[in-house]
């Protein structure tokens, strides 16, 4: 049994912060419940103004980085769950954390 779902990206929430200084900051969140507690996995990254200026297509750069970070986020979640011996199960609206034992 896999500790994360094949379609876990469906539960990711993406956020782009307002530009601060010479960079843009982005976030991916994945919310889940453990018992009655609402918890989240989180990943953030930056794209500098220089990277944007050197890119021939800044929107494509942002999308490419989002896709790369999404893969890294899935790997991060997988490793965290393996370390604690738990896995995620899904309902229509949300994810729940379950013990492997």
pLDDT for 78-100, tens place per residue? 999 999 999 999 988 889 998 87
Among residues 7, 42, 45, 1, which one has the least CA distance to residue 23?
45
Please state the domain count of the chain: 1
Please report the sign of the dihedral spanned by the C-alpha atoms of residue 101, residue 37, residue 8, residue 74.
negative
* pLDDT tens per residue across span 26-60: 999 999 999 899 999 999 999 999 999 999 999 99
Does some domain include residue 92? yes
Chain center to CA of 63? 14
What is the dihedral sign for C-alpha 46, 37, 74, 84?
A: positive
**What pLDDT was estimated at residue 56?**
95
Give SS3 for 82.
Answer: helix
| Look-up of token digits 């094949």 | 6
pLDDT at 16: 96
The parent domain of residue 80 ranges over: 8-99
Residue 26, domain member (yes or no): yes
């Amino acid at each position: 049994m896999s500790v994360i779902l094949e379609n876990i990206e469906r539960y990711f929430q993406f956020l782009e912060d307002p530009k601060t200084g010479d960079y843009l900051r982005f976030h991916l969140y994945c919310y889940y419940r453990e018992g009655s507690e609402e918890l989240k996995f989180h990943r953030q990254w930056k794209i500098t103004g220089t990277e944007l200026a050197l890119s021939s297509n800044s929107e494509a750069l942002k999308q490419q980085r989002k896709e790369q970070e999404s893969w890294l986020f899935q790997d991060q979640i997988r490793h965290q769950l393996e370390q604690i011996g738990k896995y995620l199960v899904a309902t229509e609206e949300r994810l729940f954390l379950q013990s492997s034992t």
